[in-house]
Amino acid sequence: MALKMHPAEAREAYLIPIFLVTIVVAAILPMFFESYRTTYFGIMSYDDYSRYLLWLLGEPGAEIPPSPHPYRLGSIILAAPFYYLPVVTFSGQGIQQAPMLMDPEHIRAVQAMCAANIAYATLSACIGGLYLAFWRNVSMGWAFSAALLFLLLTRYLGMGSVDGIATLPLIIAAIAMVERRIATFAAAVILGTIVNEKVALIAFFATSLRTLFVAEHRRVHFMMAGIAAVALAAYAAAVLTLALPGLDNQRDPSTYLSGIIGSVGGLVGMKGAYQNLWPAIVLLVLGWTGIRQSRDPMVYVCDLGGIIALFLFALALDVQYNVGRIVMFSMPLFLLGAVENMARLSLSAGSRALHTSGRDAARPTVSAPAFPTLAGAEGTKPSPSVS
């Protein structure tokens, strides 16, 4: 006999997922249209992978972009299904700048890249939230906040290029590193390197630092560092062998020191502070927030060194005002750790407040004496006897 659910319970069963899905969709739709509109009208510079997508699909107007874009073929493969979405165009009313995209295939490819970035970033955010809720025992409210914060911080990435797509292997690799799942970590890093080489670079920094400074699980971290090193070596071999044109200075290590010196100018001023320094500060705060004394922490103190290493590496590549964007790729681990720790702290604070209120309620109540009257204060004189 099937159990009948109470009407109130039945409503709660579908109300929560409907609410969560609605809020997520309400958050990502403006993100998609903002990035798509920005690329459609060419309002700001971005890495254009749309014609690379056309090349993969054999469509007109295709071309292979300069290095390092061709090595990120995995991102284009993941974006290919979105090419067949219905096309949205803009009227351009009120915009003085004419659209840069004229042929329909190019418009469709640009829309596909923007949609793919948002879709995979949303999937990554949901994976992070579900991991916190079901594996780290974080309340649903905090886990959902982590997903929304994840989407918010992807605004620092290039959501019109392929940065959002790379968040998927990044968050899987981060979770696998925390859970010490070597096979999952290897799959995420190796396949992620084809999506974006920064996946292997970030994984190598994180696992190498943990191997050096974290005694527990050192063997697992060492194996993971070896996997990331192999992925990086394979990527470097492909770059040196193919030697595709574009960014030749990044293939010459002798230019790295001069690149760091030349990139210092991109750290000053309002633009440099916002685009390069502020993302690194945000990650350092998240990382510091995520550090806690426990048997199984998500973030260690040494992990902060990965942010600094990635920051210096981006300076060495002389990427001008893209330093902060590159550093923000390491966001998944630090965001999850910070939200988990904040959830623990809020729970502890609530428990202490409940304990204090319970102790106050159990304390016996002592009534205060009444304010003495004048007669009571002076005493009562005996009445004289009458003879």
pTM of the model: 0.87
Determine which of 7-16, 270-279, 353-362 has the lowest per-residue pLDDT on average.
Answer: 353-362
Tell me the mean pLDDT in the region 152-169. 92
Q: Report the chain's terminal Cα–Cα distance, integer Å.
A: 100
**pLDDT higher than threshold 90 for residue 135:** yes
| pLDDT of residue 101 exceeding 80 | no
Residue 46 has pLDDT above 90, yes or no: no
Residue 272 has pLDDT above 70, yes or no: yes
Check whether 386 has a pLDDT greater than 70: no
Instruction: Please report which helix (H) or strand (E) contains residue 33, including its range.
Output: helix 7-40
Q: What is the pLDDT of residue 383?
A: 46
Give the Å distances, CA to CA, from 197 to 1, 20, 163: 56, 33, 11
Kindly list the distances between the CA atom of residue 291 and the CA atoms of 288, 299, 311, in Å, as whole numbers in the listed order. Answer: 5, 5, 20
Residue scoring higher pLDDT (244 or 202):
202
Note down the domain range covering 57: 19-86+102-344
Comparing 55-59, 78-82, 239-243, which segment has the lowest mean pLDDT?
A: 239-243
- Asked, for residue 11, whether it belongs to a domain, the answer is no
Q: What is the mean pLDDT of residues 62-80?
A: 93
As to burial, measured by CB atoms within 10 angstroms (0-12 exposed, 13-18 middle, 19+ buried), residue 253 is exposed
Question: Is residue 216 in some structural domain?
Answer: yes
The span from the CA of 270 to the CA of 277, in Å, is 10
E-state strands within 224-297: none
Residue 3 lies in a domain: no
Among 181, 180, 171, CA closest to 125:
171
- Please give the tally of structural domains in the chain: 1
Q: How far is CA 93 from CA 32, 41, 42, 45, 88, in A?
A: 19, 12, 15, 21, 15
Q: Which residue has the higher pLDDT, 9 or 300?
A: 300
d(C-alpha 224, C-alpha 306), whole Å: 15
Q: Which amino acid is at 173?
A: A
pLDDT tens for 277-299 read 999 999 999 999 999 887 889 99
**What is the C-alpha to C-alpha distance for residues 311 and 260, in angstroms, rounded to an integer?**
10
Please compute the mean of the pLDDT values over residues 325-344 and round it to a whole number: 96
Please check whether residue 14 lies inside any domain of the structure: no
pLDDT number for residue 359: 65
Whole-number Å distance between alpha carbons of 149 and 343: 14
Confidence at residue 114, expressed as pLDDT on a 0 to 100 scale: 95
Whether the pLDDT of residue 374 is over 70: the answer is: no
Question: Which of residues 226 and 255 earns the better pLDDT score?
Answer: 226
Distance of CA 326 to the CA centre of its chain: 12
Phi, psi dihedral angles at 299 (to 5 degrees): -125, 130
What's the Cα-to-Cα distance from 37 to each of 50, 93, 237, 241, 387, rounded to whole Å? 14, 12, 37, 38, 113
Q: Is 52 or 8 the better-scoring residue by pLDDT? A: 52
Q: Which two tokens stand for residue 367?
A: 């009534």
Is residue 212 assigned to a domain? yes
Specify the pLDDT at position 133. Answer: 96
Q: Is residue 117 part of a domain?
A: yes
Let me know if residue 283 belongs to a domain. yes
Using the predicted structure, report yes or no on whether residue 347 has a pLDDT greater than 80.
Answer: yes
Asked, for residue 29, whether it belongs to a domain, the answer is yes
User: Is the model's pLDDT at 2 over the cut of 60?
Assistant: no
In whole angstroms, what is the distance from residue 73 CA to residue 69 CA?
Answer: 8
Percent of the chain with pLDDT over 90: 62
Residues 113-124 have pLDDT tens digits of 999 999 999 999
